[in-house]
Amino acid sequence: MSVAKLRVFRGDSQNGEEKEYEVPVDEGMVVLDALFYIQANYDGDLAVRWNCKAAKCGSCSTEINGKPRLACKTRMDSFAEGELITVYPIKAFPVIKDLVTDVSWNYEVSKKIPPFTPAENTDWIMYQEDVERGQEFRKCIECFMCQNVCHILRDHNRKDAFAGPRFMIKIAEREMHPLDTLDRREFAREEAGVGFCNITKCCTEVCPEDIHITDNGIIPLKERVVDKYYDPFSWLLRKIKGK
Amino acid sequence: MANGTASRALTLRKDSWWVEPLVTAVVLGAFGIYSTWRALSNQYYYTEPYLSPFYSPLILSDWWPFSPAILILWAPLGFRATCYYYRKAYYRSFFLSPPACAVNPVGKKGSYTGESRFPFILQNVHRFFLYASTFVLLFLWIDSFEAFFFQDGIGIGVGTIILTINAFLLTMYSFSCHSFRHLVGGKLDVFSRCPTRFRLWGSTSAMNEIHMTWAWSSLIFVALTDLYVFLVANGTIIDLRLI
């Protein structure tokens, strides 16, 4: 049995430091198991948020060796023998304690997105080709790693102007829904700040559900905004069609 | 201060995150220098029956005393400069915004506006460059067709093959574009009413998944194509006639 060295952030938003632990590594062990070992054998007050331990609840988002990852999905055998493993809380949100952050801002943003709005007396029959784009976005487990890695939120702290990748795909899902009647392009541009995104695709890189956030969500949303605000031909076509 | 020491470090990543932006900067920079030199040189761009793609379509007129390439290159260069893939590449490599995921970007905190303000709001004209560069692409196919016709009759030289591959790669790059994907069908909410556009969108989406591959292969090959014509035209090498 090998022994791994972990450096775990201990502290809160005001003060903090790394603390080093040695953890014996068993076969099939993940980083979350190592954190459990620390809780059980060294520091019982180490705070870590977790729930399913199956990469489906999105609770255990952390930064492992500087990369946003789910602690329950990161195997200990993916590190080299003797490699020092750092575990930090996600950077974009205030630390409550140790590895637990306050992600409540995300839920406030979510509330602002206009809900699904079907027409009155909607015929509820939908075809697979019409709904499968949205199905990809509904795989989201709200781990908020995309929000965390997005430099607009993480480094520039423009939470006042940009809703973040997780909510861009939520807007895109409803905007593309075959039975939704709202035009969400003004909301996407003015309220959610889709223009802030500079397509660096980090959100897609870290998504544990492999959702193509940028290619299938944000860019199509940007193109729809172009249709409405920056394309005189589209505008002319809409006028001719009386839309 | 968020997360104690995490917020002060450039990054906690331990991998070679700087390699990708560095390689991108070197290749894009080299292409920029080479294409500028060739566009301004105004010589060795034609050797029967090959025309350099930097000068196609060839516009020779008394009213334009400068290199004819300048009249053409704004379209494909504008197309690449506003391309969603290249935006990612150069925002990371040249603007360091951010240089890599979970690595601190350059820029004053709180002042970031992304593509919502001048000058980057102009990225929204991407589809118009798509239209213009598609027009140029038509001429590249004509050039590759004409590359089969030698003074002594129909044949195939190494240049014929190079020009044809170049036109093919540029076609794949153009028609795997995110804007094209939107225009052919992505803008629809109900695919089931437009099965032809749904199929077109599906094909474009498949090509779009490797848009990066088309972007790099076509960029490098268009430079190599021009280099081949240049070397044959100035007598450094001889075009090998295969048939």
A88 touches chain B (CB under 8 A): yes
| Residue A68 domain boundaries | 2-101
Question: In percent, how much of chain B has pLDDT > 90?
Answer: 91
Strand locations in chain A (E): 2-11, 16-25, 61-64, 67-70, 84-88, 95-97, 100-101
- The CATH number of the domain holding residue A112 is 1.10.1060.10
pLDDT (tens digit per residue) in B167-196 = 999 999 999 999 999 999 999 999 999 999
Give the confidence band of A43 by pLDDT, cuts at 50, 70, 90: very high
Q: Are residues A113 and A206 in the same domain?
A: yes
Summarize pLDDT for B81-107 with one digit per residue, the tens. 999 999 999 999 999 999 999 999 887
Do A95 and A130 belong to one domain?
no
H or E element at residue B153: strand B153-154
Residue B70 φ/ψ, nearest 5 degrees = -65, -30
Of A68, A101, A134, the domain-final residue: A101
ipTM over 0.90: yes
| A73 shares a domain with A157 | no
Assess whether A93 and A110 both reside in one domain.
Answer: no
From chain A, the residues in CB contact with B186 under 8 A are 220, 223
* Burial of A32: CB neighbours in 10 Å, binned 0-12, 13-18, 19+: buried
**Res. A139: pLDDT tops 90:** yes
Nearest CA in chain B to A182: B189
The 10s digit of each residue's pLDDT in B188-207 is: 999 999 999 999 999 999 99
Enumerate the residues of chain B whose CB falls inside 8 A of the CB of residue A15: 4
Regarding whether A131 and A233 lie in a shared domain, the answer is yes
Structural domain ending residue among the three candidates A82, A101, A120: A101
Say if residue A97 is in the same domain as residue A113.
Answer: no
pLDDT above 90 (res A1): no
Chain A: nearest CA to B208, how far in angstroms?
9
Q: How confident is the model at residue A237 (pLDDT cuts 50, 70, 90)?
A: confident
Q: What is the CATH number of the domain that holds A6?
A: 3.10.20.30
Q: How many domains does chain A have?
A: 2
A141 & A231 share domain:
yes
Note the residue count of chain A: 243
A241 confidence band (pLDDT: 50, 70, 90):
confident
Average pLDDT along chain B? 94
A89 shares a domain with A207: no
* Measured distance CA(B51)–CA(B40) in Å, rounded: 16
- Residue B8, pLDDT > 60, answer no
Instruction: Identify all chain A residues contacting B114, using CB atoms and an 8 Å cutoff.
Output: 152, 162, 193, 195-198
- Which residue among A9, A196, A200 sits closest to B4, beta carbon to beta carbon? A9
Residues A212 and A113 reside in one and the same domain: yes
Among candidate residues A101, A118, A134, the one where a domain is terminated: A101
Whether A25 and A131 map to the same domain: the answer is: no
Lowest mean pLDDT among A59-63, B106-110, B122-126: B106-110
Give the number of other Cβ atoms within 10 Å of residue A138's Cβ: 12
A95 near B CB under 8 A: yes
Q: What is the spatial distance between Cα A48 and Cα A56, in angstroms, rounded to a whole number?
A: 16
Neighbours of A25 (CB within 10 A): 18
Inform me whether the pLDDT recorded for B139 exceeds 90.
yes
* B114 → closest Cβ in A129, A195, A230: A195
Same domain, A194 and A128: yes
Bridge partners of A194, per DSSP, are none
> What average pLDDT is seen over chain A?
96
pLDDT digits (tens, 9 = 90+) for A151-196: 999 999 999 999 999 999 999 999 999 999 999 999 999 999 999 9
One DSSP character per residue, B23-68 reads HHHHHHHHHHHHHHHHHHH--S-EETTEE-GGG-S----TT--S-T
Residue spans of the domains in chain B: they are 19-233
State the best of A8, A83, A129 to mutate against chain B, taking most chain B CBs within 10 Å: A129
Pairing of strands A84-88, B149-150: unpaired
Q: Are residues A120 and A220 in the same domain?
A: yes
Partners of residue A195 in chain B, C-beta under 8 Å = 114-117, 121
